[in-house]
Structure 1
Amino acid sequence: MASSAMTKTNITTDQLALFTLKSQIISDPFHFLDESWSFATSVCHWVEVTCGSHHQRVKSLNLNFNSIEAQIPKVIGNLRELKLRGNNLIGSIPLSLSNASRLETLDISYNSLQGNIPEEISNLHNMKVLSIQDNQLTGSIPFIIFNISRIEVIAFSGNSLSGYLPYGLCNGLPTLKGLYLWKKKLCGHMPTSFSNCSLLQILALPDNEFGGPMHSEFGRLINLQILELGMNRFTGAFHLMNTSTIVSYNFRILIFCTLISGIIPQEIENLVNLVELAMEKNHITGSVPISTFNISLLQILSVWENNLSGFLPREISSLIELEQLRLAFNSFGGSLPMEIFNISGLRVIDLTNNNLSGSLPPNRGIDKPYFLL
């Protein structure tokens, strides 16, 4: 009986917490919660509410993309998942959110939240997914957040955050799989601890103000699939481009558009899962190795505005999945291989400002709006 009474009290507590959330709603244009959230119905049957099968406590609330205008409530009960992505949340992130000790997923991206990211979030030791992208947050990223040892995804992109990243960023993040920090005002050198994030799959840091040399840390991330470092201020040689350890990579997307130098190694053919290779506006020299055209899944090859030279081989037609070929503003010479036009899915060819010669095959090129030759 005591257990039953406690369950009822807990359920009532969860129900009251959700009604608190409902009371914070300023606008619900789709009337999503009007009828479904009421005392006449068990909270476990409310729309977008999920209860645990064993303890019958509310564990998940998913109100993504409902155009709801509201503030984040100060009390959220026993929730393990709070998903409010793509609404019109206003105000700031309440400090009391740190009391939700069971919270594992907090997704409040694509809203209109303001203020800072509170340090108190670091008290959420069970947090696995922390997504606060595309809001209007300012200030710096609290370093203490990188001490949440169970976290798997950190996504703060698309805010006006500034400052540095701690050099030991990965020292306390053994389970991190995704780090999304693009389009911000972060600066300084890259952390030197990325090799400790051994499970990292996605590292997206483009459109910041990072500078200094590239480290060799990425060479030890054997699970890394997407690496985006474009629109920063890196200089010097990128070690990934000069090492045979590239054979162990599972890259699908490799993007770095900055001021790096070096050559494209022959070993790049070992990136058998690569679908996008973008190395634009760098100081890369040499030629595009023939081995590049052995990557059968490649859809985008973009190396425009570098110091590349040499001939374009016929083997380029082996890229049967290729959709975009962007080689403009280099020094490629020789004849334009006609085999390029046999790639049926090719939609973009940009070879302008090179030293290529030859003519177009009959009825090829003129019917494609993005063929710049």
Structure 2
Amino acid sequence: MTVANTVEARCCFKLLYAIVVVLLLHMSSPCIGCSERERQALLALKQGLVGDDGDLLFSWGREAQNRDCCQWDGVYCNNETGHVVKLDLGGMYLRGKISPKLIHLQHLEYLDLSFNDFNGSKIPDFIGSLSNLIYLSLSEANFGGQIPNQLGNLTHLQYLDLSFNEDFDSENFFHAKNLNWLPNLSSLKHLDLTSTNLSDVVGWLEAVNMLPKLTNLILQGCNLPPPIISSVSIMNCSNSLVHVDLSLNNLNSSIFQWLSGTHTNLVYLDLSENYFRGPSIPASFGNMSSLVHLSLYYSELEGGIPNSLAKLCRLRRLELYGNSLSGQLTNFVEILSECAQNTLEYLDIRGNNLSGRIPESIGQMSKLETIDFSQNSLEGF
């Protein structure tokens, strides 16, 4: 045997030896299943829940073949520790009560109970004891009552959705006397409190401003009172916001002062169906150069459309209908057609008091799919 053949044989032997060792280790280290404590907690949770379409949690059982809760529907475990880290029960249309034994899932990071029916019951205070939660969605789950302050204990939370469809019984909506718990969620990136009654929360803007990582703020239909704007509230506001929906509230033009010139990273802004009662859109909105979606319809706006708004070159959707905007469109449309000709897809300015001719330059907008200038006094339409 040559030296080369000897070296090759030794390499093959070492490779084969390594493969055998790995196989033996794998055989001697079976997959880690969930702990008995966590399994019992999940079984207690199941006991308190029922579904409309039979046993939707049929895989959650006591039988020998179902003992590993990491294999149950909607349950996800850490591969190394076996601890339950994710519980996804969204959209199962479950009814009943949440067992307090849920707090035994202390490693839980993700909890989704959305689109179930908890019959207007209050959010259990003990959810605030799940201190490792990063994601919490109770959207459309028919919880109600006052939001518990214990949610402020979820200091690792990045996503919170308590939204509710406004078409449901308003008696079961969430409400809050204050948002003192909110600033504790310093890691929060997404906040949706749609249809939560916040009419008594005078300091809601201050609470929002204390969330340094917040990117998505959705407070649609919350009966928000007009914020009290101060130099402190403007200076302390976060520049991380990308998506803001404050539609269907009782806001006035003071909100413009908070937004203008400070939130230059906004991509989506919806202030529709508020009560601005007179003042026009501030020219400083033109500084929001990243805006893709801007909605200000049915908000009692008056005055002209500032030309600076036409300089938002990334706009895809602009909704200004149902106001009392006046003046001519000539300069606005010409600037808009030059700036956003390759992006704007939807333009609706119907139902205002605009006059004059519509410039032919509107035809330069190659991406425009929907345009509505009706119910104005415009020529050439």
Query: Above 0.5 in TM-score?
Result: yes
Task: Find the aligned partners of 1:218 and 1:253 in 2 and give their Cα distance.
Answer: 20
Q: Give the conservation status (yes or no) of the 8 Å contact 1:143–1:165.
A: no
What are the Cα deviations for residues 181-228 of structure 1, in whole angstroms up to 9, with x where unaligned?
Answer: 112433223522322111111111111222234546477220001111
Q: Could you say which residue in structure 2 is the equivalent of 1:251? A: 266
Task: Find the aligned partners of 2:371 and 2:152 in 1 and give their Cα distance.
Answer: 43
Q: Could you say which residue in structure 2 is the equivalent of 1:316? A: 336
- How many residue pairs end up in the alignment? 332
- The answer to which structure has the higher helix fraction is 2
Structure 1 residue ranges without an equivalent (≥5): 58-77, 360-373
Task: Find the aligned partners of 1:118 and 1:185 in 2 and give their Cα distance.
Answer: 19
More moved, 213-222 vs 154-163: 213-222
- Note the C-alpha offset of 1:112: 1.7
Q: Could you say which residue in structure 1 is the equivalent of 2:222? A: 208
Q: Could you say which residue in structure 2 is the equivalent of 1:39? A: 64
Q: Could you say which residue in structure 2 is the equivalent of 1:196? A: 210
- 1:244 is paired with a residue whose SS is coil
Task: Find the aligned partners of 1:182 and 1:19 in 2 and give their Cα distance.
Answer: 32
Structure 1 length as normaliser, TM-score?
0.76
- Note the C-alpha offset of 1:169: 4.4
User: In the alignment, does 2:351 pair up with 1:325?
Assistant: no
What are the Cα deviations for residues 23-47 of structure 1, in whole angstroms up to 9, with x where unaligned?
Answer: 7665767989569997348835666
Q: Give the conservation status (yes or no) of the 8 Å contact 1:207–1:232.
A: yes
Q: Could you say which residue in structure 1 is the equivalent of 2:24? A: none
Q: In 2 relative to 1, CA 93–340 (structure 1 residues): closer, same or farther, beyond 3 Å?
A: farther
Counterpart selection for 1:88 from 70, 77, 93? 93
Q: Could you say which residue in structure 2 is the equivalent of 1:295? A: 312
Q: Give the conservation status (yes or no) of the 8 Å contact 2:251–2:275.
A: yes
User: In the alignment, does 2:301 pair up with 1:284?
Assistant: yes
- Which letter maps to 1:327? I
More moved, 108-117 vs 97-106: 97-106
Task: Find the aligned partners of 2:135 and 2:60 in 1 and give their Cα distance.
Answer: 31
Overall identity of the aligned pairs, in %: 25
Task: Find the aligned partners of 2:43 and 2:154 in 1 and give their Cα distance.
Answer: 30
Q: Summarize the alignment of residues 1-373 of structure 1 with structure 2, pairs less than 5 Å apart.
A: 11-14=35-38, 39-40=64-65, 43=68, 49-55=75-81, 57=82, 78-114=83-119, 115-158=121-164, 160-188=172-200, 189-191=202-204, 192-213=206-227, 215=229, 217=233, 220-240=237-257, 243-246=260-263, 249-257=264-272, 258-260=274-276, 262-312=279-329, 313-318=333-338, 319=340, 320-359=342-381
Q: Give the conservation status (yes or no) of the 8 Å contact 2:217–2:243.
A: yes
Structure 2 length as normaliser, TM-score?
0.75
What are the Cα deviations for residues 122-154 of structure 1, in whole angstroms up to 9, with x where unaligned?
Answer: 122222211100122221111231342222122
Q: In 2 relative to 1, CA 352–271 (structure 1 residues): closer, same or farther, beyond 3 Å?
A: same
Q: In 2 relative to 1, CA 89–218 (structure 1 residues): closer, same or farther, beyond 3 Å?
A: farther
More moved, 102-111 vs 213-222: 213-222
Q: Give the conservation status (yes or no) of the 8 Å contact 2:108–2:133.
A: yes
Task: Find the aligned partners of 1:356 and 1:37 in 2 and give their Cα distance.
Answer: 72
Q: In 2 relative to 1, CA 173–222 (structure 1 residues): closer, same or farther, beyond 3 Å?
A: same
Q: In 2 relative to 1, CA 215–154 (structure 1 residues): closer, same or farther, beyond 3 Å?
A: farther
- Note the C-alpha offset of 1:52: 2.4
- Which letter maps to 1:232? N
Q: Give the conservation status (yes or no) of the 8 Å contact 1:198–1:221.
A: yes
Task: Find the aligned partners of 1:22 and 1:337 in 2 and give their Cα distance.
Answer: 64
More moved, 145-154 vs 107-116: 145-154
- Note the C-alpha offset of 1:242: 7.6
More moved, 278-287 vs 161-170: 161-170
More moved, 263-272 vs 103-112: 263-272
Q: Give the conservation status (yes or no) of the 8 Å contact 2:279–2:301.
A: yes
- Which letter maps to 1:208? C
Task: Find the aligned partners of 1:201 and 1:307 in 2 and give their Cα distance.
Answer: 32
- Note the C-alpha offset of 1:273: 2.3
- The answer to which structure has the higher strand fraction is 1
Q: Give the conservation status (yes or no) of the 8 Å contact 1:317–1:343.
A: yes
